[in-house]
């Protein structure tokens, strides 16, 4: 799963291809989509005669997109229904579910035929964990039956591979993907950097971020000398599990063992020891936030300077900081590549689900395949993704991104983020979380246990300070002692290390 776009960007620059204007781009698409799309891509085994424009089939779709993405989804579906749908005899009926967790529960209940559960839709958005459950019950359609290899080859290979669910089939068709990068509140960081000597290059590695986190806590604590130990956190990863997962890969190792069977975490490796210590010390010292939520909420109140999170979350980062006294300050952002561990490879996580077909009716399967192909064509897919922080899924769409004049995008943050993501696709290797039936439980247990150790460490550190610096034991020695103890306790957790 090595980098596949490095040469593509250079080639596009050499061609001096004309820049696209996004407004004209979108309007031209809307005007011509009904003219250029054809269902001739279907494999010869598909019985197109099952579809009749005079007697259209209705396809029920469930998805978990909200806000602007829901509006875009509704707009695109309406467009399909009045163009391609009319020609082919397909009507898309859509139901938006409030979140991915609720959608997962509804799909599992439908699959298990729980009393009162709604019947399965014909198409649903799903992550691999949900799709695997449906596949085990033989409730998913293998889309390789409907798309020939020439069609599949139009898509980014690792996006397709994730949807195979460790089989030769294709059960989760990619519609939009995301990755992780470093979100930095420039307003706060620039102020800190001017006094401390840190700069943006220090944020390229997790070691640099940890050093900045410790320094920032002390720096903010010194702003109010009359109030002891009231410094602020500098950094927070939205997913502690992902940080360890990606960090292990960057350092040439693997956090998960035994996937795709029941997996466990390899916490004995020296690589994990390095990842743990780099996180634990600044977290115990309050330089890294411990928060039961997403980092974007802490950005709203100025209680965080930077975070590693999904590009799909860019719209949740606030334009203003609102302080406890209700004063406000404009928030400007820098979007930096996903940090690496010093000396490690440039590796980042590929995220995002796709669409699954769950209908058992052959005509509806064919109709679903037509809709999904249309939805993921570059014209529609770029409209869906460029306003949301997601990435398109076809190679041709990436070609168009490299030619796009990003200054024409309406959202400045999305434009700046996209510049960084395109650069990452030249330099980084991307991978997705290996599938295992218990990977979600592992993630929850790992993060809960790690948080508990940080809370305990903070209490121990407070006791140390109250006892006048530990009766002679240096702070460095004491922190090393509690760090070693916390690591040992995590490694002893059988729920993490036994598959």
DSSP 165-178: TTSSS--SEE--BE
Whether 152 and 47 map to the same domain: the answer is yes
Whether residues 391 and 418 fall in one domain: yes
Q: Are residues 342 and 464 in the same domain?
A: yes
Among the candidates 384, 403, 431, a domain finishes at 431
The pLDDT confidence band at residue 498, using thresholds 50, 70 and 90, is: confident
Residue 39 has pLDDT above 80, yes or no: no
Same domain, 326 and 454: yes
pLDDT at position 410, please?
84
- Three-state DSSP state, 42: strand
Residue 438 domain-assigned (yes or no): no
226 and 80, same structural domain?
no
With contact defined as beta carbons under 8 Å apart, do 133 and 111 qualify? yes
In a domain, 472, yes or no: yes
Has residue 27 been placed in a domain? Answer: yes
pLDDT at residue 23, rounded to an integer? 37
Does position 259 have pLDDT exceeding 70, yes or no?
Answer: yes
User: Which residue did the predictor score with more confidence, 63 or 28?
Assistant: 63
Both 206 and 285 in one domain: the answer is yes
- Mean pLDDT to the nearest integer, 12-38: 42
Bigger pLDDT: 294 vs 11: 294
Range of the domain at 299: 180-349+448-497
163 or 437: which leads in pLDDT: 163
Q: Are residues 157 and 205 in the same domain?
A: no
Report how many domains make up the chain. Answer: 2
Asked if 192 and 287 sit in the same domain, the reply is yes
Mean pLDDT over 267-295 rounds to 97
**What is the model's pLDDT at position 470?**
54
Q: Which one of 431, 462, 482 terminates a domain?
A: 431
pLDDT for the residue numbered 3: 43
Is the residue at 296 inside a domain? yes
* Bigger pLDDT: 408 vs 367: 367
Mean pLDDT of 404-421: 91
- Inform me whether the pLDDT recorded for 24 exceeds 70: no
Please report which confidence band the pLDDT of residue 38 belongs to, taking 50, 70 and 90 as the band edges: low
Same structural domain for residues 80 and 227?
Answer: no
Nearest of 121, 165, 46 to residue 357 by alpha carbon: 121
Length reported for the chain: 499
Q: What's the rounded Cα separation, in Å, for the pair 137 and 45?
A: 25
Last residue of a domain, one of 386, 401, 431: 431
Q: Is residue 234 part of a domain?
A: yes
Phi first, then psi, for residue 181 (nearest 5°) are: -145, 180
**Residues 109-115, mean pLDDT to the nearest whole number:** 95
408 belongs to a structural domain? yes
Query: Which among 219, 223, 335, 331 has a CA at the least distance from the CA of 286?
Result: 219
297 found inside a domain: yes
> Which DSSP string corresponds to 332-354?
-EEEEPPPB-TT---EEEEE--E
Cα 323 → chain centroid: 29
Phi, psi of 53 (to 5 degrees): -55, -25
Q: What is the pLDDT of residue 1?
A: 40
Q: How much of the chain exceeds pLDDT 70, in percent?
A: 90
Q: What is the mean pLDDT of the chain?
A: 89
Question: Strand locations in 2-116, DSSP E?
Answer: 57-63, 90-96
Please give the sequence-ordered ranges of beta strands (E in DSSP) within 29-101, or none if there are none. 57-63, 90-96
- Same domain? For 170 and 200 the reply is no
Residue 420 confidence class, pLDDT cut points 50, 70, 90: very high
Rounded CA separation 485/491 (Å): 10
State residue 152's pLDDT score: 95
Question: Looking at per-residue confidence, does 256 or 43 come out higher?
Answer: 256
| CATH number for the domain harbouring residue 401 | 3.40.190.10
Q: Do 163 and 195 sit in the same domain of this protein?
A: no
Residue 338 pLDDT grade (very low, low, confident, very high; cuts 50, 70, 90): very high
pTM of the shown model: 0.89
What pLDDT, in 10s, does the model give residues 135-177? 999 999 999 999 989 999 999 999 999 999 988 999 999 999 9
> What distances in angstroms separate CA 200 from CA 45, 115, 183, 194, 335, one per listed residue?
56, 55, 12, 12, 11
Q: What is the pLDDT of residues 440-491, one digit of tens each?
A: 899 999 999 999 999 999 999 999 988 865 567 788 999 999 999 999 999 9
Q: What's the pLDDT at 434?
A: 87
Let me know: does 88 contact 325? Beta carbons within 8 Å: no
Let me know whether 149 and 220 are in one domain: no
Average pLDDT over residues 103-126: 95
């Amino acid at each position: 799963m090595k980098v596949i776009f490095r040469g593509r960007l250079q080639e596009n620059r050499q061609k001096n291809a004309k820049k696209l204007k996004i407004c004209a781009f979108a309007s031209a698409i809307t005007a011509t989509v009904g003219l250029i799309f054809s269902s001739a891509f279907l494999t010869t085994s598909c019985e197109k005669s099952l579809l009749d424009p005079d007697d259209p089939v209705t396809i029920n779709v469930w998805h978990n997109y909200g806000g602007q993405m829901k509006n875009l989804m509704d707009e695109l579906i309406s467009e399909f229904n009045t163009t391609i749908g009319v020609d082919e005899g397909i009507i898309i009926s859509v139901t938006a579910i409030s979140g991915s967790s609720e959608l997962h529960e509804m799909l599992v209940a439908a699959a298990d035929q729980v009393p009162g559960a709604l019947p399965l839709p014909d198409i649903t958005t799903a992550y691999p964990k949900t799709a695997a459950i449906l596949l085990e019950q033989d409730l998913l359609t293998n889309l390789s039956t409907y798309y020939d290899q020439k069609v599949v080859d139009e898509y980014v290979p690792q996006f397709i591979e994730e949807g195979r669910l460790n089989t030769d089939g294709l059960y989760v068709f990619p519609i939009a993907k995301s990755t992780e990068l470093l979100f930095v509140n420039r307003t706060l960081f620039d102020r800190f950097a001017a006094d401390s000597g840190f700069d943006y290059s220090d944020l390229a590695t997790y070691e640099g971020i940890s050093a900045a986190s410790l320094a920032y806590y002390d720096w903010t604590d010194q702003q109010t000398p009359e109030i002891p130990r009231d410094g602020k956190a500098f950094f927070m990863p939205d997913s502690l599990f992902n940080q360890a997962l990606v960090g292990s890969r960057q350092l040439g190792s693997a956090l998960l063992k035994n996937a795709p069977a029941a997996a466990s975490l390899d916490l004995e490796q020296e690589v994990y020891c390095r990842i743990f210590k780099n996180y634990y010390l600044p977290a115990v010292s309050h330089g890294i936030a411990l928060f039961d939520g997403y980092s974007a909420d802490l950005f709203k109140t100025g209680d965080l300077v930077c975070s590693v999170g999904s590009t799909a979350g860019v719209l949740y980062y606030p334009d203003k900081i609102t302080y406890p006294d209700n004063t406000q300050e404009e928030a400007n952002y820098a979007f930096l590549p996903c940090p690496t561990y010093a000396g490690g490879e440039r590796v980042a996580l590929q995220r995002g689900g796709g669409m699954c077909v769950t209908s058992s009716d052959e005509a509806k399967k064919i109709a679903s395949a037509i809709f999904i192909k249309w939805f993921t064509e570059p014209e529609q897919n770029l409209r869906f993704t460029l306003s949301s922080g997601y990435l398109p899924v076809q190679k041709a769409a990436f070609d168009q991104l490299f030619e796009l004049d990003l200054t024409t995008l309406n959202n400045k943050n999305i434009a700046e983020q996209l510049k960084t993501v395109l650069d990452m696709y030249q330099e980084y290797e991307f991978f997705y979380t290996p599938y295992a039936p218990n990977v979600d439980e592992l993630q929850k247990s790992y993060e809960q246990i790690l948080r508990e150790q940080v809370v305990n460490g903070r209490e121990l550190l407070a006791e140390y300070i109250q006892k006048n610096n530990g009766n002679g034991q240096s702070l460095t020695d004491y922190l090393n002692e509690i760090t070693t103890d916390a690591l040992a306790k995590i490694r002893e957790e059988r729920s993490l290390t036994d598959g």
